[in-house]
Amino acid sequence: MSVGEAVVRIEGRDKVTGAARYAGDIPVAGFAYGWVVQSTIARGRVSSVDDGEALARPGVLAVLHHGNAPRLGEADDATLLVLQDPRVPHLGWPVALVVATTAEEAREAAATLRIEYQVESHDAAFRAEHPRMYVPDHINPTYETETVKGDVDGALATAEVVVDATYTTPAQHNNPMEPHAAVAEWHDGRLTVHDSSQGAYAVKQALTRLFSLQPDAVRVVSEHVGGGFGNKGTARPHVVLAALGAAAVDRPVRVVLTRPQLYALTGYRTPIVQRVRLGAHRDGRLVALDHLASSQTSKVLEFTEQTALISRSMYASGALRTRHRVVALDVPTPRWMRAPGESPGSFALESAIDELAIACGVDPVELRIANEPESEPASGLPFSSRNLVACLREGARRFGWSGRDPRPALRRDGRWWRGTGVAAATYPARSNPSSASVTAEDDGRFTVRVTAADIGTGARTALTQVAADALQVPMSEVTVLIADSDFGPASVAGGSSGTASWSWAVVAACRDLLAQGAAAGTTAQANTGKAVAARPDLARHAYGAHFVEVAVDPHTGEVRVPRMLGAFAVGRIVNPLTARSQLIGGMTMGLSIALLEESTMDTRFGDFVNHDLANYHVAANADIQSIEAVFVDDPDDQLNPVGVKGLGEIGIVGATAALANAVWHATGVRHRDLPIRPDRVLNATYAV
Amino acid sequence: MREFEYVRAGAVAEAVRLVAADRDARFLGGGTNLVDLMRLGVERPGLLVDVSGLPLDQVTETPDGGVYIGAMVRNSDVAAHPLIRERYPALAQAILDGASGQLRNMATTGGNLLQRTRCVYFTDPTKPCNKRQPGSGCSAIEGDHRNLAILGASPHCVATHPSDMAVALAALDARVDVTEPRGGMRTIPLGDLYRPLGDRPDQELTVPEGTLVTGVALPPSPLAARSRYRKVRERASYAFAIGSVAAALDTADGTVRDVRIALGAVASRPWRAHTAERILIGGPATEAAYRSAIDAELAHAQPLRDNAYKVPLVRTIVVRMLEELAG
């Protein structure tokens, strides 16, 4: 059996030696460079583009703008309709593309462009009380905006204990290590693109529509991707600009975004204000849960983060209401960032649960266990499996939770005040339709083809393990080729659905090949669309529990995290090595969001002004001390053939709240606004 | 990016002459700040005169018992040098608290002193900034200034100097050797190298443009061997200070005989706390005395909307450090 083995990444050696080529490294004969020129105003129209000086510069091949760029067709995502009209919907919107034979020539020519604007007044100031806040038709991706069960207001009015608190989280940027890049090439009306993407097939579909092509006329390849965390989930403007540029100059064009350019062009997590109201009996059992989330979107595209979704499935409560509001501002378009919805939603819900435990004088682990539901609270659906209690118990045992003194601000260690915190986690266990094929080669080996993406997760390795078992051969007999849209439709590496979706198609194809006899030269194909749709309606989720210890110096504002431990019920573990990496990576990102990450919107300009890694802090190695992820048994035969629940996102869910809860335990101060920066810790009032 | 020429200078005189002859020329040391600024379009030199190969790359003991650091000595080498670690530990600590290993391997001593503010408006050519474009206005005063100056700021600029190393050097009474564009050589106390923020924040130094820093002299000091540096930052490594202090203290019989205190991340230059030092010398070596001395220094602080937290932060780290040094 290969599944379950701790196998190192197949492409690991290529990556550390530099042999692996990313989209911006792909050598395409005769390619030119495209430099993206962004608007310097937050709202208005381009009134003129004077490109005379730029076009006269050496090496410059073209300057594309709304007045001369090739016309695009349709798009599901209006952020892709670039250089089509003079409208400027936010600061940083692409207003021109300069194409030249070198990157330096393109960039220097761009500096000589004279772009005049008709400036209109803009509004980039997000607040929950914004008068244009509205109720959207749905939330990301297609969930209901509101759910109501029971009489929430009535239950709150008569509850023995009530927690009513407002939590805020700032805009956050995904900041994958590899900035977005693409090289596009047209040949006889066919478009080939190497793109840094989490879903080559999704990019192919977008380009097919945008350029009004036949499906077989577009090929997208994303062999290696240096992270994404959601902001490479679908096509982004850089790939469209590369294809437009290539069409205009009749040679391949490469577009590589800079770090600052990512901030306006590729998505981010919206700032969010959440009000959570909990009503409970004195023993901590909930009678009411009310979760209202307000977020922003752009005027280009409505995107509403599904922030309160987590409250629909987490705790039993007779009365349960979840609601979302959104306001469209003159700002860049927010999109998916690791655990959209659950990451910020769990910060609010799991902080509020901690506040309830304190108010009731009940241990926060026990309070969560006391509120375990029989079925999914909002939908009433049965769970396919639910091992949250096992995560809480196992995590508590390993962390040494028992005997914890719940009183705050008691543990001093020199200048440090110490405390511990807990929070629960959940994330949907999705499987999406995908296709795959497997070929029995003449030399006895097997080649699997699936349009999966490995964005650093180890997906290529995991799929090789799965295929080897399905073919009943060692891993060394199997080559898995991924991330080429010619391999057929497949789900994106997003929503923690990748391995759960692709492995299903791979197993189906492999089983079919064996059933056919697996003669050399034969290929079996599978598409899981019908099988996925035929699954019974069940609530399928992964679970986890985080335990965190912090040390706080209230006089300097420093917060350090000596220990993080997560216990997870995430179905069958295909590869414990890469699974652990995913989970501790998510936990680290949760710490980073708790303490550091914040995109600062300067509303005067409509710009995220700290748009680089010097000023947008992500956790460094020194911020991480002891960090461990452990698994609890989580058998579930209602998922997919391998029994996989995704684990790309659950590590981040709840980690932030556990840390904030620990800061309360250390200091007696409740931080409801993220991040818990030194100035906020310093400015707090302490009882002692 | 503007096309530029690159010349490697073989001697100080040649380097200074080349830069003096070309208004668009800049000295290039380790490039850890200048190259970034060129990529961002903040700096657009036509000529780079690489001075990193000049024979100014030694750390040497001076006859008076002090130490001399050539301007091209890499930050890593300064921090690791036995003479520095033994006699000026605050300097070694400050350097190791800054940047990353890779950057410290590249950055030079002279370049570190002359690095530019990391104010987000200075580094973005699309935004008004009096330091980058005189007269365009200061975006930070009403904008993102959480990590900008509380001392010595002006209505035209509230930038901070980002160096850790310079804070230690300021406390250690370092003197800076420079060669001016016409070839004249001068020695300047470090504190006098930086011009106070006035109505021309683009003019950062008291020496003429095109002046080359050639070395830093650390005078002998019995105090310095017990000097220390303490830095507070938002993450545990690889971040600029939000407040820092370099200090040295000599006490006898419960009295402060001598003291040096310099503060970082509070002003457009390393901030030598002269007021606090004057109050402390000859007075009691007690926490109360430390507290009232730093309070007197910070009485001049003029915090903005979002950076008032630096006042208690600096007070805490200074008092704690003096207590540790006295203990």
pLDDT tens for each residue of A116-138: 999 999 999 999 999 999 999 99
User: Which of B40, B126, B307 is the best substitution to test chain A (most A C-beta atoms within 10 A)?
Assistant: B126
Q: How far is A41 from chain B (nearest CA, A)?
A: 10
Determine whether the interchain pair A623/B121 forms a contact, defined as Cβ–Cβ distance below 8 Å: no
Q: Name the closest residue on chain B to residue A614, using Cα atoms.
A: B239
Which of B127, B234, B240 minimises the CB distance to A678?
B234
Q: Is B271 on the interface with A (CB under 8 A)?
A: no
Measuring CA to CA, how many Å separate A9 from each of A295, A460, A463?
38, 8, 11
DSSP A153: H
Measuring CA to CA, how many Å separate A473 from each of A6, A509, A526?
17, 15, 20
A432-533 folds as Aldehyde Oxidoreductase; domain 4 (3.30.365)
Determine whether the interchain pair A609/B234 forms a contact, defined as Cβ–Cβ distance below 8 Å: no
Count of Cβ atoms closer than 10 Å to residue A151 Cβ = 15
The pair of structure tokens assigned to A673 is 């606004």
CB A668 within 8 A of CB A681: no
The predicted-structure confidence for B164-189, as pLDDT tens digits, reads as follows 999 999 999 999 999 999 989 999 99
Interface of B with A in 213-232 (CB under 8 A): 232
Percent of chain B's residues with pLDDT above 70: 100
DSSP A614: T
Rounded CA-CA distance A576/A578 in Å is 6
Q: Is B291 on the interface with A (CB under 8 A)?
A: no
Which of B240, B313, B320 minimises the CB distance to A557?
B313
SS3 A551: strand
Is the preceding omega at residue B219 within 30 degrees of 0, hence cis? no
Determine whether the interchain pair A609/B124 forms a contact, defined as Cβ–Cβ distance below 8 Å: yes
A5 in active site: no
Q: What is the DSSP string of B223-272?
A: TGGG-EEEEEESSSSSS-EEEEEEEEEEEETTEEEEEEEEEESSSSS-EE
Q: Is B80 on the interface with A (CB under 8 A)?
A: no
Place of tokens 């011009």: B195
Mean pLDDT for the stretch of residues A452-476: 98
The pair of structure tokens assigned to A348 is 């609010």
The pair of structure tokens assigned to A472 is 């009943």
SS3 B20: helix
Strands A626-631 and A558-569: parallel
- Report yes or no for ipTM above 0.95: yes
CB A222 within 8 A of CB A483: yes
Strands A190-195 and A181-187: antiparallel
Per-residue pLDDT at B2: 85
The predicted-structure confidence for A418-436, as pLDDT tens digits, reads as follows 999 999 999 999 999 999 9
User: What is chain B's mean pLDDT, rounded?
Assistant: 97
CATH code 3.30.365.10 for A138-172+269-429+538-683: yes
CATH code 3.30.43.10 for B5-50: yes
Determine whether the interchain pair B143/A612 forms a contact, defined as Cβ–Cβ distance below 8 Å: no
Q: What is the DSSP string of B143-170?
A: SS-TTS-SSS-BTTB------SHHHHHH
Assess whether pLDDT exceeds 90 at residue A453: yes
Count of Cβ atoms closer than 10 Å to residue A652 Cβ = 28
CA–chain centroid gap for B113, Å, is 5
- A216: alpha, beta or left? (left if phi > 0; alpha if psi -120 to 50): alpha
Which of A108, A415, A617 minimises the CB distance to B2?
A108
Assess whether pLDDT exceeds 90 at residue B1: no
The predicted-structure confidence for A586-633, as pLDDT tens digits, reads as follows 999 999 999 999 999 999 999 999 999 999 999 999 999 999 999 999
CB A493 within 8 A of CB A198: yes
Percent of chain A's residues with pLDDT above 70: 100
Say how many CA atoms lie within 13 Å of B55 toward its Cβ: 4
Which of A555, A611, A623 minimises the CB distance to B235?
A623
Residues of chain B with CATH 3.30.43.10: 5-50
User: Which residues in chain A have Cβ-Cβ distances shorter than 8 Å to B2?
Assistant: 108, 111
User: Which residues in chain B have Cβ-Cβ distances shorter than 8 Å to A604?
Assistant: 139, 142-143
User: What is chain A's mean pLDDT, rounded?
Assistant: 97
Mean pLDDT for the stretch of residues A395-407: 98
Which of B3, B126, B242 minimises the CB distance to A40?
B126
Mean pLDDT for the stretch of residues A244-267: 98
CA–chain centroid gap for A645, Å, is 16
User: Which residues in chain B have Cβ-Cβ distances shorter than 8 Å to A682?
Assistant: 309, 312-313
CB A651 within 8 A of CB A673: no
Per-residue pLDDT at A487: 98
Assess whether pLDDT exceeds 80 at residue A688: no
Determine whether the interchain pair A558/B309 forms a contact, defined as Cβ–Cβ distance below 8 Å: no
CB A2 within 8 A of CB A468: yes
B227-326 folds as Enolase-like; domain 1 (3.30.390)
User: Counting every residue, how long is chain A?
Assistant: 688
Beta-strand ranges (E) seen in chain B are: 5-8, 25-28, 47-50, 59-61, 67-70, 175-179, 185-189, 212-218, 228-233, 241-252, 255-264, 271-272
Domain ranges of chain A: 23-121+175-265, 138-172+269-429+538-683, 432-533
pLDDT bucket at B306, cuts 50 / 70 / 90:
very high
DSSP A83: T
Place of tokens 């020429």: B5
User: Which residues in chain B have Cβ-Cβ distances shorter than 8 Å to A600?
Assistant: 120, 144
Per-residue pLDDT at B327: 87
User: Which of B116, B129, B309, B323 is the best substitution to test chain A (most A C-beta atoms within 10 A)?
Assistant: B309
Which of B120, B232, B320 minimises the CB distance to A609?
B120
Rounded CA-CA distance A171/A295 in Å is 10
Q: What is the largest CA-CA distance in chain A?
A: 77
Per-residue pLDDT at A674: 98
CB B1 within 8 A of CB B35: no
Q: What is the DSSP string of A507-545?
A: HHHHHHHHHHT--TT-EEEEE-HHHHHTS---EEEEEEE
Which residues partner with B258 through β-bridges? B250
| Catalytic position from the list A105, A185, A342, A649 | A649
Q: Which residues of A touch B (CB under 8 A)?
A: 40, 104, 107-108, 111, 260, 415, 555-558, 560, 595-596, 600, 602, 604-605, 607, 609-612, 614-615, 617, 619-623, 677-679, 682-683
Percent of chain A's residues with pLDDT above 90: 100
Residues of chain B with CATH 3.30.390.50: 227-326
Tell which residue, A545, A510, A281, A532, has the closest CA to residue A425: A545
Q: Do domains A23-121+175-265 and A138-172+269-429+538-683 have the same CATH topology?
A: yes
Dihedral angle computed from the Cα positions of residues A198, A201, A207 and A210, in that order, rounded to the nearest 10 degrees? -110
CATH code 3.40.470.10 for A23-121+175-265: no
What does the H/E/C string look like for A223-281? CCCCCCCCCCCCCCHHHHHHHHHHHHHCCCEEEECCHHHHHHHCCCECCEEEEEEEEEC
